[in-house]
Amino acid sequence: MYSEFYRSLYRIRRVEEEMARIYPSDKIRSPMHLSIGQEAVAVGVCEALHRDDVVFGTYRGHATYLAKGGDLKKMIAELYGKIDGCSKGKGGSMHLVDVERGVMGTSAIVGTTIANSVGYAYAMKYRQKKIITASFFGDGAVDEGVFYESLNFAALKNLPIIFICENNSYAIHSHQLTRQHTDNIVQRAISCGVRAEKIKDNNIFQIYEGVKDAAEKIRQESSGPVLFECMTYRWREHVGPNEDYGLGYRSREEAQKWIDMDQLTIVADKIPEKERLLIEKEVNKEIQQAIEFAEESLFPDKKELLTDIFKEN
């Protein structure tokens, strides 16, 4: 288990570090929201799911996409705006999809995929499929009406869905307690009839065990929707590759306690050095090949402007 966790965590971290390095060159053609610091949530959740299960994500979705097994070459090509990207170069960093791997899509608009994920879960229940839907969103999405409407519907229909609130405490530069009177996301979910639990300290093992247990109960007992509020922290700016502590809305001291709890380091300490170094070598080679693939890929032809606009009946 530790090796799988480390490979996924390290892969996401190194991919995003490389994207941060490349970003100033203007080769990456879209805004980019990095998950550095938050990887443990996506990895803990996705390692607990089955291959046939699906995830819906947010614009900060690199970690979700990669943790669920999304194609790395296609992801980086998408960031470059190339035709071989997972959205044919039309979506960029904020619109990643790999249906074959269960990544049903990420969205630039706060809260939009919550309703989509509930609709998918409803379809799975209607078709009597033992498939779990995981719906990722940030603490800012809890301010949206769609959050309450979706949780209410999921509870009402007893849907096979797990809501994952990645609470990094900030909606862009606004702290949660400047937007919400009390820190009570779990209580809000419970008031909608959804079982809920708060996981502190970005703990990948608690996230994994909690989601695994919830998913199995949903599969075996049709126990209905669950919400996990996973406390985490982003190390970089809201959008872009840099640090932003100089803006004054948060401090380096606040971030440091989260950096000291870096799950990548914690998991690395549980693996023999020889095994860890081999994993790192393999991942770094994979990333370099994916970057080369993206750079060699072509930009979409102009005719692509008129494709994928709508689906004919």
Q: What is the pLDDT of residues 133-183, one digit of tens each?
A: 999 999 999 999 999 999 999 999 999 999 999 999 999 999 999 999 989
Q: Is residue 240 situated within a structural domain?
A: yes
What's the pLDDT at 305?
Answer: 86
Q: Is residue 269 situated within a structural domain?
A: yes
Give yes or no for a contact between 121 and 224, defined as CB atoms under 8 angstroms apart.
no
- Classified as helix, coil or strand, 263 is helix
Q: Is residue 310 situated within a structural domain?
A: no
CA distance from start to end of the chain: 46
Q: Is residue 133 situated within a structural domain?
A: yes
Who's near 65: CB < 8 A, 6+ residues apart? 57, 75, 96, 98, 103, 106
Q: Is residue 242 situated within a structural domain?
A: yes
What CATH code is carried by the domain that includes residue 115? 3.40.50.970
Q: Is residue 181 situated within a structural domain?
A: yes
What's the pLDDT at 312?
Answer: 67
Q: Is residue 311 situated within a structural domain?
A: no
Q: Which residue has the tokens 């862009």?
A: 172
Closest CA to 12 of 57, 55, 75, 54: 75
Q: Is residue 143 situated within a structural domain?
A: yes
Burial class (CB in 10 A: 0-12, 13-18, 19+), 272: exposed
Task: Kindly give the parts of the chain with pLDDT less than 50.
Answer: none
Name the residue range of residue 115's domain.
2-296
Alpha-carbon span 223 to 145, nearest angstrom: 25
pTM: 0.96
What's the pLDDT at 105?
Answer: 96
Instruction: Tell me how many domains the chain contains.
Output: 1
